[in-house]
Amino acid sequence: MNTMQIYDVTAYLDDHPGGADVLLAVTGMDGTDEFEDAGHSKDAKALMKDYFIGELDLDEAPDMPEMEVFRKEQDKDFASKLVDYAVQYWAIPVAAAGISAVVAILYARRK
């Protein structure tokens, strides 16, 4: 039977000597090559059973859809939103100062 072993390493992320990033990079994917490339010790392979959650029958299972990263960190237009807010905060005091100046000039001229 053509199978694939599934591991849930969520609880191991902080403890993995190779770091959480490499584990997250293969989330939802076949990480066999990456695991083998890291040259894991016998101890590491023995530890895997703690995180084993099941086996996938590749002959029966539908094709695994690739997981998609649909949002990376902040919104793309985060910077422009920040600029918009900055403009708002500037616009009101600047307008108030402008109006005061006009009123002051008119008041001064009246005398």
Q: Which residues bind ligand HEM (CB under 6 A)?
A: 7, 9, 16-18, 22-23, 26, 31, 34-35, 38, 40-41, 43-44, 47-48, 51
Q: Which residue is nearest to ligand HEM (CB)?
A: 18
CB of 5 vs ligand HEM, minimal distance in Å: 9
Question: How far is CA 19 from each of CA 31, 38, 71, 95, rounded to the nearest angstrom?
Answer: 15, 12, 22, 53
Spell out where the chain has E strands.
3-7, 52-57
Nearer to ligand HEM, 27 or 74 (CB): 27
Listed in sequence order, the residues at least 6 apart from 69 whose beta carbon sits closer than 8 Å to its beta carbon are none
Alpha-carbon Rg for the chain, nearest whole angstrom, is 30
Q: Select 29 or 86, whichever has its Cβ closest to ligand HEM.
A: 29
Q: Which is nearer to ligand HEM, 46 or 95 (CB)?
A: 46
